[in-house]
Amino acid sequence: MPAVEDPRYLNREQHFADAGVYRLDNDLALVQTVDFFTPVVDDPYMFGQIAAANSLSDVYAMGGKPLTALNLICFPSSCQPLEIMERILLGGFDKIQEAGATLIGGHSVEDPEPKYGLAVTGVVDPHQMITTAGARPGDRLVLTKPLGTGIITTALKGEIFTEREVQEAIRGMAALNAAASRAAVEQGASACTDITGFGLLGHLHELLLSSGIGARLESAAIPFYPGAREAADQGLIPGGAYRNLEYYQNYVQWLGDAALRDDTLILLADPQTSGGLLITVPPARLEAMLASLAQSGVTGWTIGTIEEAPAGTMIIV
Ligand code: CO
Ligand code: CO
């Protein structure tokens, strides 16, 4: 797309920004984002919650506070009962309420394949906004949700698992990143992003590129939802994981056990739905950050360290 010159568009240089930030005055900027996708679970109410949590996440990744949301829904109303659409929208509504935001409208389209998500508007103080560009050598990397939702939803579609068997991943996808975002702002995170379609490798790589630095990941410290490894072993891997890996493995230096390389990297490339925040925090703030997360009932996994290395490099041990 052509370059945009408007100086009020604060993150116009940040190509993989999670949301657009537009300055209104010195201490106030709008944070805007939109996201929608096809169902990842059968339960329409749960799908609504997951899609809404995912849409809200990009505001949280920048340290913003969501204010309003608009529904975007595609639905085959001629061949499926409207109650299903109602359940999807109710799931979204409840999640918007939980976020303390207000649903102020929306738009629906007749479509053979259902899709749902939100356009979200939030606010952030530009001085407190967290971008992907601030990571410094020595900062620790904290992840706030396990990985594996792409693999697990693929296994659900293949009826390898029931929704009951993978309820931890389903609950995780429906969880807001609100508390994690608050902790990141309060504890002085140097950079932050949320893990979605490009997987951990993709989103970490973009953060490192923006910050002009590299990182070391401790593969043994990276958490996965129950069922993810088993499903991956059975080959239930979404196409997006292979596409992510093909591109991002060019930036990986694998220093771990050679026998574990392929099985681990595909898990790290798995596209996530409504994934957690990946936060970089100065080492002196790590304990306070983990304590602050724990206080809000969020687990933070310390999965690596920012290191001097060519921009975007991911050294994995
Ligand atoms: Co994002
Ligand atoms: Co997004």
Cα 55 to averaged position of ligand 1 atoms, centre (Å): 9
Minimum-distance ligand to the CA of 18? 1
Minimum-distance ligand to the CA of 62? 1
Q: What would the mean pLDDT of 215-228 be, rounded to a whole number? A: 97
| Cβ-contact 120, 66 below 8 angstroms | yes
Which residue's entry shows tokens 């109602």? 86
pLDDT band, very low/low/confident/very high, at 1 (cuts 50, 70, 90)? confident
Cα 35 to averaged position of ligand 1 atoms, centre (Å): 9
Q: Are strands 20-25 and 301-307 parallel, antiparallel or unpaired?
A: unpaired
CA neighbor of 134 nearest in space, from 210, 44, 243: 210
CA neighbor of 194 nearest in space, from 52, 62, 43, 44: 62
Cα 275 to averaged position of ligand 1 atoms, centre (Å): 9
Cα 181 to averaged position of ligand 2 atoms, centre (Å): 15
pLDDT one-digit tens code per residue, 181-207: 999 999 999 999 999 999 999 999 999
**Cα gap 295→57, rounded to integer Å:** 20
pLDDT one-digit tens code per residue, 5-32: 999 999 988 877 889 999 999 999 999 9
How far is C-alpha 211 from the chain's CA centre? 19
Cα 118 to averaged position of ligand 1 atoms, centre (Å): 14
| Cβ-contact 101, 178 below 8 angstroms | no
Identify the structural domains of the chain with CATH numbers, from first to last: 20-124 (3.30.1330.10), 140-316 (3.90.650.10)
Minimum-distance ligand to the CA of 206? 1
How far is C-alpha 38 from the chain's CA centre? 17
Cα 77 to averaged position of ligand 1 atoms, centre (Å): 30
149 phi/psi in degrees, rounded to 5? -70, -30
**Cα gap 189→194, rounded to integer Å:** 13
Cα 274 to averaged position of ligand 2 atoms, centre (Å): 9
Q: Are strands 115-124 and 28-37 parallel, antiparallel or unpaired?
A: antiparallel
Cα 34 to averaged position of ligand 2 atoms, centre (Å): 7
pLDDT band, very low/low/confident/very high, at 77 (cuts 50, 70, 90)? very high
**Cα gap 274→225, rounded to integer Å:** 13
Q: What would the mean pLDDT of 114-141 be, rounded to a whole number? A: 96
Task: Provide the percentage of residues in the chain whose pLDDT is more than 90.
Answer: 96
Cα 85 to averaged position of ligand 1 atoms, centre (Å): 26
pLDDT one-digit tens code per residue, 25-66: 999 999 999 999 999 999 999 999 999 999 999 999 999 999
Cα 121 to averaged position of ligand 1 atoms, centre (Å): 14
Please give the model's pTM, rounded to 2 decimal places. 0.96
Cα 194 to averaged position of ligand 1 atoms, centre (Å): 5
Minimum-distance ligand to the CA of 16? 1
Residue 28, CB-side half-sphere exposure with 13 Å CA sphere = 5
pLDDT one-digit tens code per residue, 134-147: 999 999 999 999 99
Q: What would the mean pLDDT of 229-239 be, rounded to a whole number? A: 95
**Cα gap 200→143, rounded to integer Å:** 9
